[in-house]
Structure 1
Amino acid sequence: MKIKNWGITCLSAVILIVQSCNNPKSSNQKETSSNISVSATDSRGKTITLPHEAKRIVVLYNALVDDVYMLQAGEKIVGIPQQIYEMEDTYHFLSRLDDRIKNKSIATPTFGGQSSNAESIVGLKPDLVLTFNTDEDNINQIENLGIPVFTFSSLNDEKILDELKNVGKLLGKQKRAEEITGYVSEEVKKMRTSHEASPKKIYYAWSKGRIMSTSGKGSLIDMAITLSGAQNACPVPVEAPNISAETLYKWNPDLIILWNSKLSDVYSLKELTALPAVKNKQVFVMSPSFPYDPHTVKFMLFAKQLRHWCMPSYTQEQLDQDVKKAFEIIYGKKGLI
């Protein structure tokens, strides 16, 4: 009987060993699943494939840093533009999401401005770099060093939403990206069904006092103006035309909107003193600019701010409520604004 029992025990042990080999522990299965390759298509139409979700990323433009925090993937960032620390409203907000921003401890692999230092980027050992597709020289240099680059275009609302969903795949935040883009898409639909019969004309002036530089038909700003229910005063199908004061009088906008400029940049121009929008004090500054960055899904809030200035029926109270709700959803956290 003892020999028989011993044999049964040995057989049972062998079976258990075989089963353990064929059925690894759940923790091992979980570890394996986290290393599954991920792919996404960027603004160039290029498919970026990583052996696993990105764990260390360098971001070369401010708006894209914002995107990463919306996706709640800020802990993956190892490099950002120097401007994040220099732009007061951006720095103040992102400091509330990440102590490393607050302490200015995240590396800034830049020479200054938008120029990046490839050597510094390599030293940060990223497995992914995020940038705009206009940054061709840097993109080529970084990719030639064997570092994957995902590019954005932010050409219009559809591209902004699509690019956020795609980068969400690479960061392991696909579900989060779907939550954000789903909400924004619904808000955009609502806005497009509630336009004024006689839309006001808006002239948009570029930042840093470049009053005679604007955004034409088909541009990102043109999309946001149209979404607001207004009309772009610039009828030219050019991305960034420079115009004369005479042309601005000809277009005769109802409102002038400034971005990172001062009211005095307009009111001090003698050649514009007789322009109706100037005489009627219909010049507005989008300030602080961070909540309304049109290069992100906040193009929706940019449009809502324009709507408030154009349509008295859309009150400041309603705008404030909409901005508060939007921030809770796109950042996934209450009390940020």
Structure 2
Amino acid sequence: MKFKNLLITSLCAVLIILQSCNNPTASGSKGTSSNKQITATDSRGKIISLPHEAMRIVVLYNALVDDVYMLQAGDKIAGIPQQVYEMEDTYSFLSRLDSRIRNKSIPTPTFGGQSGNAESIVGLKPDLVLTFSTDEDNISQLENLGIPVFTFSSLNDEKILEELKNVGKLLGKQKRAEEITGYVSSEVKKMRASRETSPKKIYYAWSKGRIMSTSGKGSLIDMAITLSGAQNACPVPVEAPNISAETMYKWNPDLIILWNSKLSDVYSLKELAALPAVKNKQVFVMSPSFPYDPHTVKFMLFAKQLRHWCMPEYTQEMLDEDVKEAFEVMYGKKGLI
């Protein structure tokens, strides 16, 4: 009986060993699923790990939707912000890349504004959600539900490039990400090495008519202004200071740049009527805004548009040619703009 029990035990052990050798998930075996794990670090410094490249993603901010289409991963999108359909220039351009955008058939799991509906997001069964690091409530809710969230910060040029490369890994588009970031890095290097500089000071006003809200030293906009070769009129090292008309006169910018605002938002302000930039009609609207979104790698084009406004020698024709070339590289297609 003892011999029989020993024989049975030995046979079981052999079967377990054989099964382990043939099991693709066994530790140490080649081609294991653990070897297929894809990892990338997001803006929080958190390592996001997926068992395979993301196949269904929900994107909660417009700029990040743009990033996904640049990576040629639009087919993976399962949900987008409602604003993609509402912003005319964004909708018009992305409609040319995806018939689902054109037909407005991609779900929009948002309440309106940038507020995401966690229940609706979960219902779309994403294996990855893309959002900004400031979207703390959604991040916490979704991660508590076991949904991986990759966050962006877009703090500066280095972060934008790094974050695009990292999300490219998770989407199985690492080569595309390298192509885009390599090109943008090269263009930025040329701009910084250029002797084209201007003593002009630029005041940047926030969107939706918030003329007395600007971007200070160390901000993303400050980086783009500096890259253009001009100077940020705001000397305050604060991300988003609110100022008075008296402060505007004290800073005395040469140009005022508007984003998603109207010229009348400035020209109708009686308290700014005597400001030299206003009197000299040196107020410009970054419109259409889509080609110059500074929260994406197009911060480089934002800076080039500023350079054109500050330096007449960098002509409209030169800017148009640069934008055309950049779009061909960024989206991997010709004739988009």
User: Fold-level match, TM-score > 0.5?
Assistant: yes
1:180-329 to structure 2, matched below 5 A, reads 180-196=180-196, 198-329=198-329
1:92-171 to structure 2, matched below 5 A, reads 92-171=92-171
Q: SS of the counterpart of 2:215? A: coil
1:99 deviation in Å? 0.3
Q: SS of the counterpart of 1:202? A: strand
Q: SS of the counterpart of 1:296? A: coil
> Deviation string for 1:6-47 (max 9, x for gaps)?
xxxxxxxxxxxxxxx99x9xxxxxx98999210000000000
Q: Mind listing any 5+ residue stretches in structure 2 that lack a counterpart?
A: 1-20, 25-30
Contact 2:198 2:311 in 1 (8 A): no
Contact 1:35 1:52 in 2 (8 A): no
Aligned residues: 310
Q: SS of the counterpart of 2:130? A: strand
Query: Which residue in the other structure is 2:91 paired with?
Result: 91
**TM-score, with length taken from structure 1:** 0.90
**TM-score, with length taken from structure 2:** 0.90
1:199 deviation in Å? 2.1
Q: Mind listing any 5+ residue stretches in structure 1 that lack a counterpart?
A: 1-20, 25-30
Contact 1:39 1:48 in 2 (8 A): yes
Query: For 1:197 and 1:130, how far apart are their aligned partners in 2?
Result: 37
Query: Is residue 40 of structure 1 aligned with residue 26 of structure 2?
Result: no
Q: 1:318 to 1:198 in 2, by over 3 A?
A: closer
Query: For 1:210 and 1:74, how far apart are their aligned partners in 2?
Result: 33
1:167 deviation in Å? 0.2
Q: SS of the counterpart of 1:256? A: strand
Aligned-partner residue type, residue 201 of structure 1: K
| Overall identity of the aligned pairs, in % | 90
1:194 deviation in Å? 1.4
Aligned-partner residue type, residue 81 of structure 2: P
Contact 1:202 1:253 in 2 (8 A): yes
Contact 2:258 2:283 in 1 (8 A): yes
Larger displacement relative to structure 2 (191-200 or 291-300): 191-200
Contact 2:294 2:302 in 1 (8 A): yes
Query: For 2:196 and 2:275, how far apart are their aligned partners in 1?
Result: 24
Q: 1:229 to 1:146 in 2, by over 3 A?
A: same
**Structure 1 segments (4+ residues) deviating >3 Å:** 31-35, 195-198
Q: 1:34 to 1:59 in 2, by over 3 A?
A: farther
